[in-house]
């Protein structure tokens, strides 16, 4: 069991470009969560998805951010037209049924 | 040594000593609490959890104490080891809520 896999580990984008972050949940897990962490801060909830459905996106910025968890393949967090303030570590977690999160190692996005 | 959470985010402890990390949680409706350990460049790692119907729970070298009256949570680590050096976060949620709310964190440094 490979755990929650996130890629890339590090991503550098210029302002205005798009960032795509991928998350493959643990085998058998159908719940996926995305969190953002700024330096020296705790994680902040962004979005909760189940297969093909967004369940709770109350933590997502209204513009430029979107997430999906298709029937096949990884969950994708997409950030369009990135700005410097988007620089952060983005963590994905998965669970079997809403209990017992397992976090991935994160993607560190740097916007230059 | 003892941390008071947000007011003392860094804690240094001599190897072999016990450490206590504190957390003041925000939501009186929260009924499930988790401590996570985050090492540099990694995702949060589950340490121990506790439900609101308990006030103490023990694991291997770790103990979590919950005081619902003052909305306070603490993590005690016994006989600290160099590998315990990390940032420790408390997180809270409540039944039916899939989101975790994280505290700011405390950086624990073990002095050899």
pLDDT on residue B97: 86
Give how far Cα A2 sits from Cα of A10, A27, B36, B45, B105, Å. 19, 8, 20, 15, 27
pLDDT on residue A64: 98
Mutate which of B92, B96, B99 to disrupt the A interface (most A C-beta within 10 Å)?
A: B99
**φ and ψ of A20, to 5 deg:** -125, 120
Using a CB-CB cut-off of 8 Å, the residues of chain A touching B33 are none
pLDDT tens per residue, range B66-108: 999 999 999 999 999 999 999 999 999 998 888 999 998 999 9
CA distance A104 to B43: 6
pLDDT on residue B26: 85
CA distance A8 to A109: 9
Is residue A39 exposed (0-12), middle (13-18) or buried (19+ Cβ within 10 Å)?
exposed
Asked if B29 contacts B96 with a C-beta cutoff of 8 angstroms, the reply is no
Confidence label for B6 from pLDDT (cuts 50, 70 and 90):
very low
Nearest CB among A42, A98, A103 relative to B104 is that of A42
Residues 6+ apart with CB under 8 A from A112: A12, A13, A14, A15
pLDDT on residue B9: 85
Asked if B44 contacts B87 with a C-beta cutoff of 8 angstroms, the reply is no
Answer yes or no: is pLDDT of B1 > 60. no
Low-confidence ranges of chain A (pLDDT < 70): 1, 98-99
pLDDT on residue A103: 96
Q: Which residue of A has its CA nearest to B96?
A: A98
pLDDT tens per residue, range B19-65: 999 999 989 999 999 999 999 989 999 999 999 999 999 999 999 99
Asked if B33 contacts B92 with a C-beta cutoff of 8 angstroms, the reply is yes
Name the nearest CA neighbour of B34 among A6, A43, A83, A80.
Answer: A43
């Amino acid at each position: 069991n490979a755990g929650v896999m996130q890629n890339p580990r590090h991503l550098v984008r210029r302002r205005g470009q798009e960032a795509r972050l991928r998350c493959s949940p643990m085998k058998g897990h159908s719940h996926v969560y995305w969190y953002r962490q700024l330096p020296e801060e705790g994680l902040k909830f962004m979005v909760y998805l189940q297969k093909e459905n967004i369940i709770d996106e109350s933590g997502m910025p209204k513009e430029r951010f979107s997430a999906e968890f298709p029937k096949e393949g990884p969950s994708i967090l997409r950030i369009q037209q990135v700005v410097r303030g988007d620089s952060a570590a983005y963590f994905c977690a998965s669970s079997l049924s809403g209990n017992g999160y397992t976090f991935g190692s994160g993607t560190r996005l740097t916007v230059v | 040594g003892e941390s008071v959470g947000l007011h003392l985010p860094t804690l240094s402890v001599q190897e072999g000593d016990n450490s206590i990390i504190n957390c003041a949680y925000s939501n009186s409706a929260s009924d499930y609490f988790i401590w996570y350990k985050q090492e540099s460049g990694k995702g949060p790692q589950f340490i121990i959890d506790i439900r609101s119907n308990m006030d103490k729970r023990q694991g291997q070298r770790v103990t979590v104490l919950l005081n619902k009256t003052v909305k306070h949570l603490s993590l005690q680590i016994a006989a600290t080891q160099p590998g315990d050096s990390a940032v420790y976060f408390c997180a809270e949620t409540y039944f039916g809520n899939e989101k975790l709310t994280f505290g700011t964190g405390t950086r624990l440094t073990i002095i050899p």
